[in-house]
Amino acid sequence: MRPLEPISAGRRLALGILFFVLFFAAWALATLGGFVPKIFLADPLTMVRDGARLLTDFGFAADILITIWRVVGGFVLAALVAVPLGILMGAYKPIEAFFEPFISFARYLPASAFVPLLILWAGLGETQKLLVIFIGSVFQIVLMVAVNVGQTRRDLVEAAYTLGAGDYGIVRRVLIPMNAPEIAEILRLVLGWAWTYVIVAELIGSSAGIGHMIIDSQALMATGQIIFGILVIGLIGLVSDYLFKRLNQTLFPWRLA
């Protein structure tokens, strides 16, 4: 094992699986061995039984679908606003100077702090949940895209001008194609953050969703159900991250390994 030395796909998969095996083994040892009271941390077997009951008896699959819809909806809205604005900020310095102070200020504001206001403005319906995810994602995407586009190699821009490209052509045929792989990677990373925001939105004033199930389980001290809900979020995030990464590799094979 050497610094930055690549490994085969098979070895990478085996090492990833090994971590999960060791993690669940340590969890089982701590709980089934009596080192941790089950009221504080359910064992893996109890978690599986509680999860099966949630899916078969309490319609938890519908909660999962609702949460996925909220994440996708809020994240897509954020991307539709943030990506074009980020490209414009990176390409045109006056636009960057106008928006950057506010974006830098707003991205430090926790999305959870807006929940009481959003409930007053939008009620307890879907709009409020989508807005929490939107606020939590949009400013991060804007700034990251702007920084990435602003670091485009100047020699490529000058070469395009030499070949007769105009300002619009520089943006459309140089800046966007050059930075599209990195923008896609930014969206993949921020999508993971969006999952934290949806749970915050669902913990307050929600009648459905994974976060709603978790807060109900907390009142019942059903730690098995809580852990199952958390693991479902992690599993969905892992799958979506993998699919996003594969899509990026397919669209931009020359930039993403």
In a domain, 98, yes or no: yes
Q: How long is the chain?
A: 257
Q: Which residue has the higher pLDDT, 198 or 72?
A: 72
Number of domains in the chain: 1
Could you tell me the pTM of the whole model?
A: 0.85
Q: Is the dihedral of CA 247, 210, 75, 108 positive or negative?
A: negative
Q: Domain of residue 198: give its range.
A: 42-251
In a domain, 105, yes or no: yes
Say if residue 23 is exposed, middle or buried (CB neighbours under 10 Å; 0-12, 13-18, 19+): exposed
**pLDDT the model gives residue 120:** 84
In a domain, 27, yes or no: no
Q: What number is the average pLDDT over the span 27-49?
A: 88
Q: What number is the average pLDDT over the span 6-34?
A: 88
Mean pLDDT score of the chain: 86
| Per-residue pLDDT tens over the stretch 108-151 | 888 888 888 888 888 778 888 899 899 999 999 999 999 999 88
Q: Alpha carbon of 88 to those of 57, 82, 99: distances in Å?
A: 50, 10, 10
Q: What number is the average pLDDT over the span 41-51?
A: 91
In a domain, 202, yes or no: yes
Q: Give ∠ CA 88-90-95 in degrees, rounded to 5.
A: 55
Other Cβ atoms within 10 Å of 56 Cβ, number: 10
Q: How confident is the model at residue 171 (pLDDT cuts 50, 70, 90)?
A: confident
Give 229-234 contacts, CB < 8 A, sequence gap 24+: 229/54, 231/47, 231/51, 232/51, 232/64, 233/67, 233/195, 233/199
Q: How confident is the model at residue 257 (pLDDT cuts 50, 70, 90)?
A: very low
Query: 25 pLDDT exceeds 90?
Result: yes
Q: What number is the average pLDDT over the span 55-59?
A: 88
| Per-residue pLDDT tens over the stretch 209-229 | 888 888 888 878 888 999 999
Residue 220 is part of a domain; what is its CATH number?
1.10.3720.10
Q: Alpha carbon of 37 to those of 45, 212, 215: distances in Å?
A: 14, 25, 20
